[in-house]
Structure 1
Amino acid sequence: MTPPILARVEAHVFRTPIKEPVRTSFGTMTERAAVFVRAEDSDGARGWGEVWCNFPNAGAEYRARLLADIVAPLALGKPLDDPVALWAEIDRALHVLRIQSGDAGGFSAAAASLDLAIHDLRARKRGLPLWRALGGRDDGPVPVYASGINPGPAAADTVTRTRAAGYRAFKLKIGFGEETDLGSLRPVAASLGDGERLMVDANQAWDFATACRMLPRLAEFNLGWIEEPLTADRPTAEWTQVAAVAPAPLAVGENLRGAGQFQTAIESGLFGIVQPDVAKWGGQSGCLPVARAALAAGRTWCPHYLGGAIGLLHSLHLLAAVRGPGMLEVDANANPLREGLLGDLLTIRDGFVSLPGGQGLGLEPDLKPLANLRSLHIERHG
């Protein structure tokens, strides 16, 4: 029998304003965008992925077109029996285009989204939840943390709200100046109960001198980790000195691309937390071996994620497949492109979330309620 082939790829772009902007050290989001991707094979089986596009979200439509016009044609008509080999083939084909265009991120995210959709499709056809199709054995709940918490006086209120919603770990945005950073952290740290954890994310805000000055100031907070105190491309010598003065493990990964970069980071011993983003680079095919390598080296693997519903579910399934001490990152900010699809599928209880039942992701997204938020829909056929 002829194996099924990839027959259709769709990209759906949505964007919506939000009442409370999401602030980071590199910029502010005043709306949320998402690119949801659906893959269909010649048997009619379907799977879903998502393109990373949260900043600048003006690039959402562009990345959807990269997927439709360049990435999808590399896969349409190809068999789907080996998603990892197909992703590797696409990744090799895109190498020259990343260099030629100077847009490694856009091509990587578009390719990742298709890989996610294909893995979901394959798991559904096998009648398995995605975490089990990826090799997981334990269906127990997964630990979570509330992320993306804005700086300033409202930080403590957000922690109170998310704590009431079931979270027991929280990550604050820093990198807004010493007064703002310490002023945000002190009331939150003082409010922590037994077993609760606090982390921070500088989002690459500091140069070397500022990082060396600021990191010791964070010692009073007993942090679980400090994320991206330098830009991801700084030389190893700087990271080595920053790690030496850091009062908590360093976390990196969302802005690394390629197995080589991740292996270098893992082998350096400088980073206790490794954070690939399945919708930003690699999909399941690229990120699964990174996760296993991190755990084998004694590091903590935590998937990075701050987008819509589908990418969040993929992150959950990958974390469930590899387990370890990592936690699922869940955006504490309102996002109709997350809640509008998930509904009550993911309920947090005492710091954990149960895995969704069913096949694949455990969600068949209903995009109809979001129709008035859609800005672009593209289809490509084999």
Structure 2
Amino acid sequence: MIKIARVDAFAIRVPILEPIKVAFGTFRDRPMVLIRVTDVDGAEGWGETWSNWPAVGAEHRARLAVDLGQALIGKEFGTAEEIFDHLTRETEVLVLQTGEVGPVAQVIAGIDIAIWDLHARKLDEPLCRLLSQKAASHVPVYATGINPDRPEDFAAARKAEGHRAFKLKIGFGRDLDLQNIAAVRDAIGPEAHFMLDANQSLTLPAALDIIELAAKHDITWLEEPLRVDAANNDWWLLAEFSSIPLAGGENLRGGQFDEWMARGELKFYQPDITKWGGVTGCMRVARKAVQEGLVYCPHVFGGGIANLASLHALAAAGGGGWLELDCHPNAGRELILRDLLPVSDGGVPVPDAPGLGTSVDLSDFAPFVTWASDNTLATQRKAG
């Protein structure tokens, strides 16, 4: 049984030297919300909640996590899945009342990750093996976050570090996009996997145009070329006439995954484990995708817990997908991962320590905390 005694949350903002550009905006710091769940035996588990946008999102989600976590304290549950379904069901009216479907889903995801970590630690098992006894010990990765400013230099540096797959951001204008696609392909060589991400920024004609001109560069997938809520017919036409497989999923949730799989436009499915679903929801999507001959490639653009939870889910799901690996400096990732995920020949090992495979030292984050439910961290920050 799982009986929770406390849920804490920590809003963290890590400054960055160079802003990160995507089609819909610019990151000027790296926010992260960590969630710690403690059970009645004193065992802990760690989760992470998506908080990239809006700029004030981290503090809001951290407070919301503590508030929603109160509904779990003192109750007994049989499994992590039961808790996920309970929280989802119990917040349905709250979502209708507030319109905050995103923040609520993201907080539930973070709590779910923490509970899975706690449960696996208590069983002294790596999370991936709790999810599947056939879990992989090594998974392929791709370097992500390749910006439009001289992307060939960034890609070449990642190749030298051991990466063999790369994803370029597009959506910055036809000419610049095509110039960057050609430059990156030249930098990474003909054998590397090469993905494109438009972040929902293209119209149907623009997407068809870029596909026609980029296809000669051997593109593995085009991610979110259209808005997720674009007309079904637009997505059908794009898939019908595209010579490049389509990818998406970071902005889907719940039953939407079933609807999209039934429609058949996407080959690669990319739920974000901190944005919706946590381990419970994303494993349901991943298993169905693999069963239907599709590819599960978790979207990741957060801190170290997000990376590890996504890695364990992918290792358990199988199916030949890649783990998205952000290669920009980010203490929110580096202080948690440390040397756990060395890239070699395009892949990383899956940690075999219990749970996610790491422990979080809150004192490392004291300089970056902007809100905390635990007074200990607040005291450390003031002392620093």
TM class, shorter-length: over 0.9
Q: Aligned partner of 2:191: which letter?
A: G
Q: Contact conserved, 1:80 with 1:118, CA < 8 A, in 2?
A: no
Residue by residue over 1:124-152, the C-alpha shift from the partner in whole angstroms, topping out at 9 and shown as x without a partner, is: 01110000011242442110000111013
Could you tell me which of 225, 242, 252 is aligned with 2:221?
225
Calculate the TM-score normalised by the size of structure 2.
0.95
Q: Which moved more, 1:106-115 or 1:243-252?
A: 243-252
Tell me how far apart the structure 2 counterparts of residues 136 and 32 of structure 1 sit (CA, whole Å).
35
Tell me how far apart the structure 2 counterparts of residues 58 and 12 of structure 1 sit (CA, whole Å).
14
Gaps of 5+ in 2: 376-384
Change (3 A) 1:209 1:99: farther
Aligned to 1:308: 303
**Shift in Å at residue 27 of structure 1?**
0.3
Could you tell me which of 310, 318, 321 is aligned with 1:323?
318
Aligned to 1:276: 271
Could you tell me which of 133, 148, 152 is aligned with 1:151?
148
Does residue 175 of structure 1 match 2:171? Answer: yes
**Shift in Å at residue 80 of structure 1?**
4.0
Matched residue SS, 2:88: helix
Does residue 96 of structure 1 match 2:90? Answer: no
Q: Contact conserved, 1:136 with 1:320, CA < 8 A, in 2?
A: no
Aligned to 1:164: 160
Gaps of 5+ in 1: none
Aligned residues: 375
**Shift in Å at residue 191 of structure 1?**
2.7
Q: Which moved more, 1:280-289 or 1:200-209?
A: 200-209
Residue by residue over 1:163-208, the C-alpha shift from the partner in whole angstroms, topping out at 9 and shown as x without a partner, is: 1111100000000001111111111112333531100000001123
**Shift in Å at residue 26 of structure 1?**
0.4
Larger RCO, structure (CA 8 Å, separation 6 or more): 1
Could you tell me which of 260, 265, 273 is aligned with 1:265?
260
Q: Aligned partner of 2:37: which letter?
A: A
Q: Contact conserved, 1:158 with 1:332, CA < 8 A, in 2?
A: no
Q: Aligned partner of 1:43: which letter?
A: D
Residue by residue over 1:38-59, the C-alpha shift from the partner in whole angstroms, topping out at 9 and shown as x without a partner, is: 1010011110000001222421
Aligned to 1:237: 233
Tell me how far apart the structure 1 counterparts of residues 98 and 133 of structure 2 sit (CA, whole Å).
38
Q: Contact conserved, 2:30 with 2:330, CA < 8 A, in 1?
A: yes
Aligned to 1:369: 364
Tell me how far apart the structure 1 counterparts of residues 299 and 8 of structure 2 sit (CA, whole Å).
25
Structural RMSD (CA): 1.4
Tell me how far apart the structure 2 counterparts of residues 213 and 276 of structure 1 sit (CA, whole Å).
27
Q: Aligned partner of 1:141: which letter?
A: H
Aligned to 2:208: 212
Does residue 19 of structure 1 match 2:14? Answer: no
Could you tell me which of 279, 285, 288 is aligned with 2:280?
285
**Shift in Å at residue 68 of structure 1?**
1.1
Q: Which moved more, 1:283-292 or 1:238-247?
A: 238-247
Aligned to 1:108: 105
Matched residue SS, 2:105: helix
Q: Contact conserved, 2:145 with 2:167, CA < 8 A, in 1?
A: yes
Q: Aligned partner of 1:113: which letter?
A: G
Tell me how far apart the structure 2 counterparts of residues 192 and 16 of structure 1 sit (CA, whole Å).
30
**Shift in Å at residue 246 of structure 1?**
2.0
Change (3 A) 1:211 1:195: closer
Tell me how far apart the structure 2 counterparts of residues 30 and 62 of structure 1 sit (CA, whole Å).
18
Matched residue SS, 1:251: strand
Q: Aligned partner of 1:238: which letter?
A: D
Aligned to 2:138: 141
**Shift in Å at residue 343 of structure 1?**
1.2
Aligned to 1:346: 341
Does residue 188 of structure 1 match 2:184? Answer: yes
Residue by residue over 1:334-372, the C-alpha shift from the partner in whole angstroms, topping out at 9 and shown as x without a partner, is: 111111221111100000101112100110011212211
Change (3 A) 1:4 1:116: closer
Matched residue SS, 1:188: helix
**Shift in Å at residue 244 of structure 1?**
2.1
Aligned to 1:122: 119
Q: Contact conserved, 1:146 with 1:162, CA < 8 A, in 2?
A: yes
Could you tell me which of 32, 50, 53 is aligned with 2:51?
53
Q: Aligned partner of 1:202: which letter?
A: A
Matched residue SS, 2:46: strand
Tell me how far apart the structure 2 counterparts of residues 74 and 208 of structure 1 sit (CA, whole Å).
45
Tell me how far apart the structure 1 counterparts of residues 79 and 231 of structure 2 sit (CA, whole Å).
37
Q: Aligned partner of 1:91: which letter?
A: T
